[in-house]
């Protein structure tokens, strides 16, 4: 993907840092707001964002929100009706109607989390518009997640992608004849010294882009690879890339879910632990709360933050969006944050203890892996 120079970027950890920054940007908006999210929850945080969007619409700002029809299925219709009544244009990506039966088409979801404000600032990451504790599996520790705030020429690519997806989605909706709204004047002049790439995954031109970015970076690694992914079931090529890196002496560390919100996926992931541990990959499980962040750092100079998990559904089915950062200073900040979480909340898997698991535990993991692989074939989520 094209590397764009001259940007500024800030790491935002959890909703405690993202949501206040997002509300400030919305409240300062004078022209145009565009948001994409998988989940827009009717909780304290969701209502806080919705209120800010309604205030912006009341000021005459053009506000457009694209929500995944399955991800936000549990959010009451009244929540979105209130937004629309306030002047916010809301679209649902592949809305779910009637009895929902999973098919290949319906499993292709819009999993991106992007916000663009007035052509001057953007947000990208893994956080839905949901409180850190809503649907979290801990009452005392927030869900771990990351996003970034970006400014500069990278916004040109981001706006083009968001505008295109809005137009495409609207064409298949009752609002197809409504105007798309022009892209605002983008503040594309260099504003910093950070090189960024905006990498998307879709089912047409960019099917393998995110996975290939990972494989390229890891394949060139000489020192370290640090990955955080809640749902981790990489295809054969990406898995071999990790194993090859460990074989040539690269310190490969992976932080995965310990407390699982999808136990079947976790059991399937654990079927791969033996192969990775035997290759020298160090695995940690996060057990203080739900892990939801999708980030990586390679050799202290390449980093990514975004919506894409390293599993078949993100890498082969869903629409996803990541920022890739080519900057040692940012990589150091992200790496320090992840290492702090590992040191305080991560449990390292012991290779010998893992080998001593009971036969029943092993059988359950392999059965789960088989089920996930069958589902991947049925839904067309077969990786490379």
Q: Which residues are catalytic?
A: 111, 113, 118, 292, 294, 299
Helix (H, G, I), strand (E, B) or coil at 151: strand
Query: How far is CA 268 from each of CA 52, 72, 225, 231, 272, rounded to the nearest angstrom?
Result: 41, 26, 23, 10, 7
Give per-residue burial for 21-38: e unless 16+ CB within 10 Å, then b. Answer: bbbebbeebebbbbbbbb
Looking only at the bridges linking them, the beta strands covering 32-37 and 62-68 are: parallel
How far apart CA 161 and CA 170 sit, in angstroms, is 14
Of 21, 77, 76, 74, the closest CA to residue 52 belongs to: 21
Helix (H, G, I), strand (E, B) or coil at 17: helix
How far apart CA 311 and CA 109 sit, in angstroms, is 14
Looking only at the bridges linking them, the beta strands covering 282-286 and 224-228 are: unpaired
- List of long-range contacts for 268-275, beta carbons under 8 Å, 24+ apart: 268/233, 268/365, 268/368, 268/369, 268/371, 268/372, 268/373, 269/231, 269/232, 269/233, 270/365, 271/365, 271/366, 271/368, 271/369, 272/233, 272/239, 272/369, 273/349, 273/354, 274/354, 274/355, 275/239, 275/243
How far apart CA 321 and CA 295 sit, in angstroms, is 12
Cβ atoms of residues 131 and 146 within 8 Å: no
Number of CB atoms found within 10 A of residue 4's CB: 20
């Amino acid at each position: 993907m094209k590397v764009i120079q001259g940007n500024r970027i800030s790491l935002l950890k959890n909703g405690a840092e993202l949501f206040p920054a997002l509300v400030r940007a919305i409240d300062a908006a004078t022209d145009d707001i565009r948001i994409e999210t998988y989940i827009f929850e009717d909780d304290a945080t969701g209502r806080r964002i919705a209120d800010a969007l309604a205030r912006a619409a009341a000021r005459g700002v053009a506000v457009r929100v694209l929500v995944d029809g399955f991800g936000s299925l549990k959010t009451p219709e009244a929540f979105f009706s209130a937004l629309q009544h306030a002047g916010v244009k809301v679209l649902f990506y592949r809305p779910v109607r009637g009895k929902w039966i999973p098919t290949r088409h319906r499993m292709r979801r819009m999993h991106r989390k992007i916000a663009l404000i007035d052509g001057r600032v953007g947000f990208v990451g893994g956080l839905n518009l949901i409180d850190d504790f809503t649907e979290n599996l801990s009452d005392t520790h927030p869900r771990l997640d990351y996003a970034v705030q970006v400014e500069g020429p990278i916004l040109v690519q981001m706006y083009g992608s968001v505008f295109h997806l809005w137009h495409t989605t609207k064409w298949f909706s009752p609002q197809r004849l409504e105007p798309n709204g022009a892209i605002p004047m983008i503040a594309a002049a260099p504003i910093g010294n950070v090189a960024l790439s905006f990498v998307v995954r879709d089912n047409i031109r960019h099917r393998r882009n995110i996975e290939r970015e990972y494989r390229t970076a890891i394949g060139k690694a000489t020192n370290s690879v640090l990955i955080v992914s809640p749902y981790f079931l990489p295809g054969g090529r990406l898995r071999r890339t990790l194993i090859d890196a460990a074989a040539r002496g690269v310190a490969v560390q992976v932080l995965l879910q310990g407390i699982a919100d999808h136990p079947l996926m976790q059991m399937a992931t654990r079927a791969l632990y033996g192969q990775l541990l035997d290759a020298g990959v160090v695995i940690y499980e996060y057990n203080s709360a739900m892990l939801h962040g999708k980030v990586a750092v390679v050799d202290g100079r390449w980093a990514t933050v975004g919506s894409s998990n390293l599993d078949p559904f993100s890498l082969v089915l869903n629409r996803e969006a990541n920022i890739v950062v080519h900057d040692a200073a940012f990589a150091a900040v992200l790496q320090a944050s992840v290492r702090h979480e590992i040191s305080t909340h991560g449990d390292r898997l012991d290779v010998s203890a893992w080998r001593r698991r009971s036969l029943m535990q092993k059988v359950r993991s392999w059965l789960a892996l088989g089920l996930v692989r069958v589902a991947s074939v049925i839904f067309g989520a077969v990786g490379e």
